[in-house]
């Protein structure tokens, strides 16, 4: 949601205390979203909801 709104970075630091594998999980989730919606890279979705 933040990327769609124009964010170029998203913080997940605190979540690492709960789940040390959160970084790769978030990356996989973003990859799945991009593939499912036909985007080639994160840059393609940054700010599309502005």
Q: What is the mean pLDDT of residues 30-47?
A: 95
Domain extent for 28: 1-50
pLDDT top residue among 12 and 43: 43
Q: What is the mean pLDDT of residues 4-26?
A: 88
pLDDT top residue among 11 and 30: 30
Average pLDDT, the chain: 90
Residue among 45, 36, 44, 50 nearest 3 (CA): 45
pLDDT above 80 (res 50): no
Tokens 């979705």 locate to 45
First to last CA, the chain: 11
Q: Which of 14-18, 38-42, 45-49 has the highest mean pLDDT?
A: 38-42
Q: How many domains does the chain have?
A: 1
The secondary structure element, H or E, covering residue 2 is none
Rg of the Cα trace of the chain?
12
């Amino acid at each position: 949601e933040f990327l769609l709104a124009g964010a170029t970075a998203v913080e997940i630091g605190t979540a690492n205390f709960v789940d040390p594998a959160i970084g790769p999980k978030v990356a996989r989730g973003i990859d799945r979203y991009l593939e499912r919606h036909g985007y080639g890279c994160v840059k393609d979705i940054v700010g599309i909801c502005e």
